[in-house]
């Protein structure tokens, strides 16, 4: 019974649509570079790499790392987050590819 309850609650969270945020990466810059998300909610980040080179979405604060191939999209789920600022970078182009998730 415990297993069944766990499965039901899992499918419940899958059925409820998680908010999605699209982030474009072009010329090694994220747009938007400042992303506001609701605190306490799981959010789906879609990273659309329009550059001809791979990039790695990397965030120590969010505890996430994801390689995104050239001209491809990568998906990173974050949260639920406490209110605050969570910086991220494109690890391969850290001088320009920078951004922050603001949970509020
Ligand atoms: Cu990394």
Residue 18 has pLDDT above 60, yes or no: yes
The mean pLDDT of the chain is: 90
Segment 62-81, tens digit of pLDDT: 999 999 999 999 999 999 99
Q: How far is the CA of 4 from the centre of ligand 1 (A)?
A: 37
Q: How far is the CA of 104 from the centre of ligand 1 (A)?
A: 26
* Burial grade of 21 (CB within 10 A; 0-12, 13-18, 19 or more): middle
Residue 5 has pLDDT above 90, yes or no: no
* CA–CA separation, 18 and 13 (whole Å): 8
What are the extents of the domains in the chain?
A: 17-103
Q: How far is the CA of 67 from the centre of ligand 1 (A)?
A: 8
Whole-number pLDDT of residue 7:
52
Q: How far is the CA of 99 from the centre of ligand 1 (A)?
A: 15
How large is the average pLDDT for residues 8-16? Answer: 53
Q: How far is the CA of 74 from the centre of ligand 1 (A)?
A: 14
pLDDT band at 100 (very low <50, low <70, confident <90, very high): very high
The answer to whether domain 17-103 has CATH 2.40.50.100 is: no
Q: Full-prediction pTM beyond 0.85?
A: no
């Amino acid at each position: 019974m415990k297993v069944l309850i766990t499965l039901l609650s899992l499918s419940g969270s899958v059925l409820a649509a998680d908010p999605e945020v699209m982030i474009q990466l072009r010329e090694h810059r994220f747009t938007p570079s400042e992303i506001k998300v609701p605190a306490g909610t799981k959010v789906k980040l879609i990273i659309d790499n329009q550059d001809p080179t791979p990039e790695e979405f990397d965030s120590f604060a969010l505890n996430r790392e994801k390689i995104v191939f050239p001209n491809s999209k990568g998906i990173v789920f974050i949260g639920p987050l406490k209110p605050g600022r969570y910086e991220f970078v494109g690890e391969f182009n850290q001088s320009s590819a920078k951004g922050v998730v603001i949970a509020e």
